[in-house]
Chains A and B, each alone.
Chain A
Amino acid sequence: DTEVTQTPKHLVMGMTNKKSLKCEQHMGHRAMYWYKQKAKKPPELMFVYSYEKLSINESVPSRFSPECPNSSLLNLHLHALQPEDSALYLCASSQAPGQSYAEAFFGQGTRLTVV
C-alpha cells in the first residue's frame, strides 16, 4: 500500500466552526507533513511530525492545530478560520527523518473553503 489517504476531499466551513482534516498512511513512514497550497502557488510547509512528535512548525497561526495520535494518523484541527485560509491542504509522509534521500508520498488533498 503506497497511498496516503486524506479525508474529506472537500470541506466548506464557517468562520465559527471547528472541523478536522484527517490523513492516514500504512507505509510505516515515521515522518508526516501538512502543506497548504493556494491556487497557482507551490505547496507551503506547515508542520512536520517526526516519530509522532512535532518537529517543525513554520510559524503557523494557532487556529491550525496538528495532532499525530499514532504513527499512521495525522490530523489537522481547524478553529475560527478566516476566508484567506481557503486552500488545498496536502498531507505527505516519508521514511524516517534523517533519511534525506527519501521521497515524499502525497495524499490527494482536502479542498477547504472558509465562508
Chain B
Amino acid sequence: SQQGEEDPQALSIQEGENATMNCSYKTSINNLQWYRQNSGRGLVHLILIRSNEREKHSGRLRVTLDTSKKSSSLLITASRAADTASYFCATVSGGFKTIFGAGTRLFVKA
C-alpha cells in the first residue's frame, strides 16, 4: 500500500535553479525519510527527519515536516545535472515498516 503522495510527479528545471518536491501522508509516523533513485536502480538515503523536528538541512538539501498537515517538502538548492533522478519520500511506522510515496521525477537541464 502507498502511504505518501508526492507532488509534482515530474519536474524539469535548469541547472542552478532550486527544486522543491512535496509529500503528503495519511497516518501517524515515527519519522519521514527522503530517498533518491537513479535510472531504476537502488535507492540512496538522503535525509531523515523525526516526527518532533520541523526542519533539517544536509548540504544542498533542506527538508521540512508539518505533522499537523501530514506533509513534508524537500528543497534542493543550486541544482546540478547530476541531481537528475527520482526522489521518494518514505514514512516509517510500526518500528520498521517503510512505505514509499509515488515519487517525483526530477530532470535538471545543463
Chain A residues in contact with chain B, CB under 8 A?
Answer: 4, 31, 33, 37, 39-45, 48, 50, 55-56, 58, 88, 90, 92, 94, 97-109, 111
The interface residues of chain A lying within 8 Å CB-to-CB of B26 are none
B56 interfacial by beta-carbon distance below 8 Å = no
Asked whether, in the complex, the Cβ of B43 is within 8 Å of the Cβ of A100, the reply is no
Choose the segment among B12-20, B77-85, B88-96 that binds chain A (4+ C-beta atoms closer than 8 Å). Answer: B88-96
| The one of A45, A103, A111 that contacts B99, using a Cβ cutoff of 8 Å | A45
User: Does B59 reach chain A (CB closer than 8 Å)?
Assistant: no
A103 to B49 CA separation, bound complex (whole angstroms):
11
Contact A100 B40 (CB under 8 A): no
Question: Once A and B bind, how many residue pairs between them come within 8 Å at the CB atom?
Answer: 71
Q: Which residues of B are interface residues toward A (Cβ below 8 A)?
A: 1-2, 30-31, 33, 35, 40-45, 48, 50, 88, 90, 92, 95-103, 105
Cβ 8 A contact of A106, one of B30, B43, B92, B103 = B43
Least CB separation from A101: chain B residue: B31
Cβ contacts under 8 Å, B92 to chain A: 100
Bound Cα distance A47, B33 (Å) = 19
Given contacts A42-B88, A42-B103, A88-B40, contact A104 B45 (CB under 8 A): yes
* Bound-state Cα–Cα, A37 to B88, Å: 13
Known interface pairs A39-B40, A106-B35; 14 further A-B residue pairs with C-beta atoms within 8 A, sorted by A's residue number = A44-B100, A48-B96, A50-B96, A90-B43, A98-B95, A100-B31, A100-B95, A101-B30, A102-B96, A103-B33, A103-B48, A104-B45, A106-B43, A109-B40
When distances are taken between beta carbons in the complex, the residues of chain A under 8 Å from B40 are 37, 39, 88, 109, 111
**Pairs of residues from A and B, 7 with the lowest C-beta to C-beta distance, nearest first:** A100-B30, A42-B100, A103-B45, A106-B42, A108-B42, A97-B96, A106-B43
